């Protein structure tokens, strides 16, 4: 299955995030996988709960899996942070001030055809809603207590996207160090 966003052009990069070309999104996510620039946004509400989203059943990769608030790819001549802000508005109908945390490279196979090989730029921010999810992108969205989320990921890791599981602990450590709100129990 290929959705309309598969026609986008993505920025190919090396492991140092230097641009080396461009390619169609479908060509980057279909084997053999090509390293490209991406971003992931993690949002917390004022009580320190994390916003997680269930990917639309229409997605080519990891449909129906739970993940961070928003993830996608910048367009040519668009900053990665600018793309993250744009996609928050498009996917969830929200705005948030974002703080860059870190970049990591990962590769994950979804099935025999589809997968990911991304240099993922991770951002964090605060948002209390209200949300207006685009149903082509998100089937569900909810704020969840961080301790409950960590337990859920431990109990049922197969329900969560690979990039989310890879970056979750590092995001939580960075969030605490960076002064984003934490719930006082």
Task: Give the pLDDT confidence of 21-78 residue by residue, as tens digits.
Answer: 999 999 999 988 999 999 999 999 999 999 999 999 999 899 999 999 999 999 988 9
118 is catalytic: yes
CATH classification at residue 46:
3.90.79.10
71 is catalytic: yes
Question: What is the per-residue pLDDT for 184?
Answer: 38
Whether 153 maps to a domain, the answer reads yes
Query: Residue 12 — pLDDT band, cuts 50, 70, 90?
Result: very high
Catalytic hit among 28, 70, 71, 127: 71
Q: Provide the number of structural domains found in the chain.
A: 1
Whether 109 maps to a domain, the answer reads yes
Question: What is the per-residue pLDDT for 179?
Answer: 52
Whether 14 maps to a domain, the answer reads yes
Catalytic hit among 91, 116, 118, 137: 118
Look up the pTM and report it: 0.91
What is the Rg, in whole angstroms, of the alpha carbon atoms belonging to the chain? 16
């Amino acid at each position: 299955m290929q959705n309309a966003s598969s026609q986008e052009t993505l920025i190919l990069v090396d492991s140092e995030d230097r641009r080396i070309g461009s390619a169609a999104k479908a060509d980057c996510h279909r084997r053999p996988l090509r390293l490209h620039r991406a971003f992931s946004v993690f949002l917390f509400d004022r009580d320190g709960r994390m916003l997680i989203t269930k990917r639309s059943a229409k997605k080519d990769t990891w449909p129906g899996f739970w993940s961070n608030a928003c993830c996608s790819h910048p367009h040519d001549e668009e900053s990665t942070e600018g793309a993250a802000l744009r996609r928050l508005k498009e996917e969830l109908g929200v705005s948030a001030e974002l703080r860059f945390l870190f970049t990591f490279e990962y590769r994950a196979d979804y099935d025999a055809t589809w997968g990911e090989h991304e240099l993922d730029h991770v951002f964090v921010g605060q948002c209390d809603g209200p949300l207006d999810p685009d149903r082509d992108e998100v089937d569900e969205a909810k704020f969840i207590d961080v301790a409950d989320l960590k337990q859920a990921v431990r109990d049922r890791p197969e329900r969560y996207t690979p990039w989310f599981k890879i970056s979750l602990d590092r995001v939580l450590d960075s969030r605490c160090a960076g002064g984003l709100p934490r719930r006082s129990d």
